Structure 1
Amino acid sequence: MKKKITYVLAMAVGLQLLGSCKKYLEVNPEERILETDYYKTPDQAFASLVSVYDMVGNQSSGYLTKTDIMNVGCDDHFAGGANSSDIGDLQAVAKYTFNQISNAGAVTYLWNKGFTGAYRANVFLKHIGDVQMDAATKARYIAEAKLLRAYFYFDLVRFYKNIPLLLDPVDPSQMFNVEQVSPDAVYAQIITDLKASINDLPVTVPAATQGGRVTQGVAHALLGRVYMWQKNYAAAATELALVNGTPGGTSQFGYKLVANFADLWSPKNKFNSESIFEIVFNSTSNGTWSSVGGTEGNLECILVGPRSYSPKVAGAPDYVSGWSGQPFTDDFWNLIHKDPRNKPTVANLDSLETNGIVSYLHAYQNTGHFIEKFAGRTSTKAANGQLELNFPLDMYEIRLADTYLLEAEALLQSNQGVGPGTRAYQLFNAVRARVGLAPIAVTLTNIKTERRLELAGEGQRWLDLVRWGDAGTVLASKGFVAGKNEIFPIPQNELNNTKLQQSKEWGGTK
């Protein structure tokens, strides 16, 4: 769904939260199309909608992504890299040494990503009514934009708590007067947008031509996740049940667990039956070192590969030499190494080297265990352009095993039956059965462990720990401070000369 858009939003000026989208847009000064002249045709409306989707998979020029930030902040990964200063913004997240000024790259990136996406959605929604086009198509576009706006605000309220809630493009004369609202108000708007979007979204989309676009299933899954964060477990279970259907079967939206866990991580299996909300990448955008933030290839593939990798025998894994980022911790390796998901999850360079099959550089925080799910391979690299920047492997924002486990948790937390034969038991153990594991009891401890194993490396662990209230204990050894690091500080540049206030957790007044 990603595509480069060449138009200018004339209102994108001033504050970073309002104008940060400027640096993501291509501008040809001699062929500039002003906002007032743009929204005339269905093709222009679609291009504007694509620009909103573009921010879902946005990656920064500093190699920051939502996934790598979430990974290095949790207990399953180190930051890794060449040394203790390699991609310093990730090192700061891994050690919790960042603040709103110092090493604030990740803090600023997540803020800009979210508000740029919301801003683009708002501009689209402001102007789509003026476009003469098929009514049903227009209704679908509006529904997509509202869902995506909800998606961006859901991240923003989880990451920063005290944020502005902008539902229209802000007039330049008022840009310095924007104020924050309560988190409850943000959540209420997220729920409103998601509910409003459902009926006008398609039940399914043809993967070959529309893969990556949101559907009714995405709306229900995201709404279920929102309710989980609000601890409204009964409502969450209701929404997630619509997504999941009969445990182990095919839901009304066509979702079904992929039979072979390892197949989830092949570029040949984009938009598979388990994929609910997928972040799309490709190998054809020709991303270069001068435009890292503009590539449409998946940066995780080069970030997580073993550094100075060299196969020594025929048949050795065809990894592309990477940057040794986000290595798994020994604690996680000890948990997963006897689990059937081990090999599709962990690239075990320690074992490969010990057996003389490969060699690699033991870089910073090396454990010998890297993320197999996303490791770049010569068999999946781009045919043209800078190979490190153009891997086509997609990422899952939401997949069915995730929603199975969330519904099982919601049923448990809402005091529903969870014994053998119950829906919670069937959902939970369907995830285990897929990889050949015997059923076990549905307890919160078992759910936490299962989510850790099933979703490893996918950027979910940190969010789970915060949602469960476990982060302060589990992440204390990394420098995480309970009552503070559950959210990020608002970037200082957003506070200067504005009415925005820093959160109390970070020494502010909000």
Structure 2
Amino acid sequence: MKKIKYLIALSTLLVAVGCEDYLETDNLYGKSLETYYNTPTDIEEAMAGVYNAIYVVTPEGSEPIAANLMSDMMLGGGGPDDASAKRVDNFIDPAEDTYRSMWVQSYNGIARTNAIIEKTASADFSSYFPSAEEAQQFKAQAIGEAHFMRAFFYFRLAKFFGGVPLITAVDDPKDVPRASYSETFAQIATDLKMAIETLPSTPFPTIPTATYGHANKWVAEAYMGRVYLFYTGYMTNINDTPTNTLPLVDGGSLGASEVAAYLEDVINNSGYALASDFRNLWPYSYVNIAAGNDEILPWAAEEGLSWVGQDGANPTFGTGNYESMFVQRFSFGDWGWNNGNIYTNRLSLFGSIRGNSLVPFGEGWGWMTVNPRLWAEWDDEDPRKLGSILQVGEPSQGTGNWSLPNNQDHFTGFYNKKYTALQYPNEAGTVQGMFVQLYGWGNADMQLMHAQDFIFMRYADVLLMHSEITGTAEGLNAVRARAGLDPVGYSLEALKQERLHEFAFEGLRWFDLVRWGDVESAFNYTLNVSNSGAAATYQVNYRPETKGLVPIPESEIRLSNGVYEQNPGWE
């Protein structure tokens, strides 16, 4: 079977641009700003290094894991020794550097985009292409993509940390103080605007499969919607400075109508579309087909599910995925590599059922157990409920042989089904991971077998963001219709419920709670859980004074010699 190819740069894009630890990278091959970025191959390698910075070393520093743990959808979980999951879940930072890997990798990515933007603009690639027009198209793609990725990294930082140091040129000083919240978002919006204006308007079905997972114009337009909603919501509901505009670096701003127009461009011209069935986005819809046995997951077989795959419009393993717009691609790992497990999807590993290796749902560490309130309050008629939440002890779910391990904390009876370990017998009858079999990987270690894409942006979000910004129900009802639900009139409450059910466990809920100003009331409950087999209660201690932000890593504050100030509530 065809092996998947990933542009994971383990030691390329090696630019030393400063004296601070968080921005330094090793120049392993003698490449520098003077000797690199001279050919299209250099730029492609450099861009691979940019995408490489999405990966972080520590699981709690991973955006989707941290955001899921902090949301009201999921509990810390894990075993008694999984203290970090419980700390993130309960807004505690005794280790001082819980989120440092996110900080470090984001600034590594920013440094690399700065170099690409500056060096590509002045490079002459004409001798590498048949025409000057093609050379210019290559430059525009590289510069636009780099601007998007710089916005992506600053947005990741801003969502978690607030205003951060802005370093937008290779020679910028590295000891600048933190910018304000508005200044940080002005930089994000300006980079996105530049990406939108620079990247080509190539419809999705004609975008080469080899570049699937990379940013394009439509992704930049979709992210402008997300950035606008987060910034205006945060300023209005958390910062008590109401606004309906997104600032730009030049002093201008973008209003709701302008951002809605970007989303309408995606809707009308991008070629992206909703999958026919929400459940076909998730790999569990493929296990019966792959194993040639409808009894492995009876529920999926009865529903006639068919995975759309994760190679874009390429239908190699499914019908073709037109909904996933921007994804983090994962491969496999090897313990012989330095940080050899960061390229496997640890959201799937850490969120899978603890202590049970079942078919088709394999074993993981049991983090991020699902809040039973979500299950109880979700309408059974909505197929996304069973399409998102995995029940244990249910034969139709492939969990009939499940048993409660004696080291599972925050046990609720529910795990997430979207990102989870999947496995089934191979032709020899040996149970192996789904992606190990699909892509022919030799190492079947249960910790290294998760090559499922993480979806940062999908088309359903474009529709729901458009409804929220315009106050209209068309996009909202398109998403509901896909789930077989009746149309509703637009209201913010209806929009909130739709996002809750459409994007459960996809790392968006926490940021929605913050921007809507719902975070202070989201945790007013107590749950009965099981901790290592003993009855216990669970309650979150969210502190409003933190304003929805996590602490600046203490080691970064020390490295700055006091230039950085700690976030409120974490001093």
Q: TM-score range by the shorter chain?
A: 0.7 to 0.9
1:492 to 554, 557, 570: 554
8 A Cα contact 2:552 2:567, kept in partner:
no
Matched, 1:126 2:155: no
Residues 264 and 289 (structure 1), Cα distance of their counterparts in 2 relative to 1, 3 Å cut: farther
One of 23, 32, 40 as aligned partner of 1:18: 23
Task: Provide the C-alpha distance between the structure 2 equivalents of 1:187 and 1:485, rounded to a whole number of angstroms.
Answer: 17
- Determine the structure 2 residue equivalent to 1:95: 90
Choose which of 268, 280, 294 in structure 1 pairs with 2:329: 280
Is residue 100 of structure 2 the alignment partner of residue 108 of structure 1? yes
Tell me how far 1:207 sits from its aligned partner.
4.7
C-alpha spacing 1:254/1:354, structure 2 compared with 1 (3 Å): closer
Within 2, Cα distance between the matches of 1:356 and 1:454?
24
Give the whole-Å Cα distance in 2 for the aligned partners of 1:346 and 1:45: 42
Q: How many residue pairs are counted as aligned between the two chains?
A: 468
Distance 1:390 1:104 in 2: 31
Q: Residues of 2 paired with 1:131 and 1:39: CA distance? A: 8
Residue 192 of structure 1: aligned partner: 190
Q: Distance in 2 between matches of 1:212 and 1:310?
A: 30
User: Contact (CA 8 Å) 1:228, 1:236: kept in 2 or not?
Assistant: no
Equivalent in 14, 19, 41 of residue 9 of structure 1: 14
Q: CA deviation at 1:10?
A: 4.7
| Residue of 326, 333, 346 corresponding to 2:368 | 326
CA gap 1:434/1:353 in 2 versus in 1, 3 angstroms: closer
Tell me the alpha carbon deviations over residues 446-487 of structure 1, each in whole angstroms, 9 at most, x when there is no partner.
Answer: 211111111000000000000101101113551111131411
Instruction: State the Cα distance separating 1:357 from its structure 2 match.
Output: 2.0
Give the distance between the partners of 2:49 and 2:110, measured in 1 at CA. 11
Give 1:426's match in structure 2, choosing from 474, 486, 495. Answer: 474
Q: CA deviation at 1:7?
A: 3.6
Give distance in 1, aligned partners of 2:257 and 2:373: 34
Corresponding position: 1:384 with 2:431: no
1:202-242: CA deviation from partner (whole Å, max 9, x where unpaired) = 32353522111111111110111111123334443232222
The one-letter amino acid of 1:331's match is: R
Within a 5 Å distance, the mapping from 1:332-411 to structure 2 comes to 332-336=374-378, 338=380, 339-352=382-395, 357-362=400-405, 363-379=408-424, 380-382=434-436, 383-385=441-443, 386-411=445-470
Aligned AA (1:473): S
CA shift for structure 1 position 360:
3.2
Q: Deviations over 1:435-454 (max 9, x none)?
A: 11112232111211111111
CA distance in 2, matches of 1:135, 1:354: 53
Aligned 8 A contact 2:106 2:153 in 1: yes
How big is the shift at 1:144? 0.3
Kindly report which structure 2 residues correspond to 1:33-72, keeping only aligned pairs within 5 A, or say none.
33-56=31-54, 58-62=55-59, 64-72=61-69
Q: Which moved more, 1:208-217 or 1:126-135?
A: 126-135
Rate the CA distance shift 1:328–1:165 in 2: closer, same or farther, 3 A: same
Counterpart CA distance in 1 for 2:264 and 2:502 is 20
Letter in 2 for 1:483: E
Give % identity: 25
Deviation, 1:261, is 0.9
Match of 2:349 in 1: 302
Normalised by the length of structure 1, the TM-score is 0.85
Structure 2 stretches of 5 or more lacking a match? 1-5, 126-134, 233-243, 245-255, 284-306, 313-320, 425-433, 525-538
- Give me the whole-angstrom Cα distance separating, in 2, the residues matched to 1:354 and 1:167: 50
- Amino acid in structure 1 at the alignment position of 2:423: T
The 1:355–1:381 alpha-carbon spacing in structure 2 relative to 1, beyond 3 Å, is closer
What SS does structure 2 have at the residue aligned with 1:188? Answer: helix
Unaligned runs of 5+ in 1: 246-251, 312-316, 413-423
1:162 alignment partner AA: G
Residue of structure 1 equivalent to 2:251: none
1:359-402 deviations in whole A, cap 9, x for unaligned? 23341111111111111111413232234223221111111111
Distance apart, 1:105 and its partner CA: 4.1
